[in-house]
Amino acid sequence: MTEKKHAISDEKIDGIISILLRVGVAISSVTVFCGGVVYLMRHGGESPGYHIFVGEPAQFRTIPGAAKMAEAFYGRGIIQLGLLLLIATPIMRVVFTVFSFLFQKDRVYVGVTLIVLCVLLFSLAGGR
Amino acid sequence: MDILTFSTLIFSGSLIAGFLGALTGLGGGVVIVPLLTLGFGVDIRYAIGASLVSVIATSSGAAAAYVKEGFSNIRLGMFLEMATTFGAFIGAGVAALISTQVIAIIFGLVLLYSAYLSFRGHEPDPYDENDAPDFFAHSFHLDGSYPDGHAAVPYHVHHVPTGFSLMFLAGGLSGLLGIGSGAVKVLAMDQAMQVPFKVSTTTSNFMIGVTAAASAGVYLSRGYIDPGLAMPVMLGVVVGALLGSKVLTNSKPKLLRVLFAGIILILGIEMIYNGMTGRI
């Protein structure tokens, strides 16, 4: 592969990563905002209870749980779905980077990126 | 105080934090936890969860702009992310084992250190032409170049094992405290690995989102991320950071930076005090 070819593909990849990050943040912000409106309309008059830590109920602790709550149109479920989309944004970036290194035939970095991806997915699975 | 008032106040506070963070380049994440715990009496575990989410949002937003400019070194970032993500995963695990008082004290110490770094300002790159090329930098193709006008300026990466270890620490602090640890990341690249300043700040920013995502999963499954609290924090920080980056893109106002560093210093002392007296 010549130097020039390499530079062009690198630049293209940077452009795609940039768009990916922007779209991810935009979509998740809008989702969180919509969920926030629903949540405040229904619960805005109640009093907050964050002084004592009890932890979130089980349905907000997993991806399928949050998706189910969002589907049922719970404000907090929609917010949690938006937050999950936000967490997914950098992970998608890593997935995309795996493919871009594959495309560049850089085997060492396909390996490096896969290691990072494994840690991320292991964590998202709750470390089990 | 009802939830609507509570959310509005937190949104406003987070907006100011995000705005000042973007203007001064110090990042807003580091003041969110003190704002929530000291200002609103929120349990530090909920505060850390909400802060971590906002860190992902601002880092991804800023990285989108930086990546395009061609300053960030994607290979270097990916290589070091092996250390930061693993560190973050461990840090998030440790957070569950130690008391909230200890977390508050460590948080305070990190705030003091960040304040010290911003008072001192940026020192010239400790570049030494005679340093031997690093074995890892060579075998992992970490050296790169950055644009300066029309020319590409090449640079070498040094002391990779030291930088890699510092990155593990940065990841650990990020997972433990729900912050971006940008200051430690820049220290590792700027001082230890002797990467040019512009490259180290942008590459560090690019790494923060991925690092935070590694502990977000652990936080989520422990129930630290509360949608009702994270919502105003995340939206406030995102809007604030967007406004901050629109107002000024290049010059970092020195007075504002010193002022913000002063606030961080006071918050750091207060976090340590509250941690020691068991009020957190």
Q: What is the pLDDT of residue B149?
A: 78
Domains of chain B: which residue ranges? 3-276
* Per-residue pLDDT tens listing for chain B (280 residues): 899 999 999 999 999 998 888 877 677 778 999 999 999 999 999 999 999 999 999 888 777 777 777 788 889 999 999 999 999 999 999 998 999 999 999 999 999 998 888 777 666 555 555 566 788 888 888 988 888 878 888 888 999 999 999 999 999 999 999 998 887 887 888 888 988 888 888 888 889 999 999 999 899 988 999 999 999 999 999 999 888 877 765 555 677 778 888 999 999 999 999 999 988 7
Q: Look at residue A36 and tell me whether its pLDDT is greater than 90.
A: yes
- Residue A51 resides in a domain: no
More confident residue, B92 or A8: B92
CB contact at 8 A, B30 and B111: yes
Residue A50 placed within a domain? no
% of chain B exceeding 90 in pLDDT: 50
Q: Is B141 on the interface with A (CB under 8 A)?
A: yes
CB-CB under 8 Å, A36 with B7 = yes
The pLDDT of residue A3 is 45
Is A53 part of the contact surface with chain B (CB cutoff 8 Å)? Answer: yes
Query: Which residue among B40, B86, B228 sits closest to A119, beta carbon to beta carbon?
Result: B86
Residue A6 resides in a domain: no
Tally of domains in chain A: 1
pLDDT value at position A1? 40
| Closest alpha carbon to B116 in B270, B269, B274, B276 | B269
Question: Which of B274 and A15 is assigned the larger pLDDT?
Answer: B274
**Cα–Cα–Cα angle for B30, B35, B39, rounded to 5 degrees:** 160
> Is residue B144 within 8 Å of residue B199, measured between CB atoms?
yes
Across A72-96, average pLDDT = 92
Residue A75 covered by a domain = yes
B270: how many CB neighbours lie within 10 A of its CB? 18
The answer to whether residue A5 sits within a structural domain is: no
Per the CB < 8 Å rule, is B234 touching A32? yes
pLDDT tens column, A19-30: 999 999 999 999
Q: Does A92 touch chain B (CB under 8 A)?
A: no
| Distance of residue A127 Cα from the nearest chain B Cα, in angstroms | 7
Cβ of B45 under 8 Å from any chain A Cβ?
yes
* CA distance linking residue B258 with residue B116, whole number of Å: 10
- Residue among B218, B226, B230 whose CB faces A127 most closely: B218
Q: CA of A29, closest CA in chain B: separation in Å?
A: 7
Q: Residue A66 is part of which domain span?
A: 13-45+57-124
CB contact under 8 A, B64 and A18: yes
pLDDT tens track for B14-37: 999 988 888 776 777 789 999 999
Please compute the mean of the pLDDT values over residues A66-76 and round it to a whole number. 83
**Cβ atoms of residues B236 and B11 within 8 Å:** yes
B197 near B15, Cβ under 8 Å?
no
Is the ipTM of this structure higher than 0.95?
no
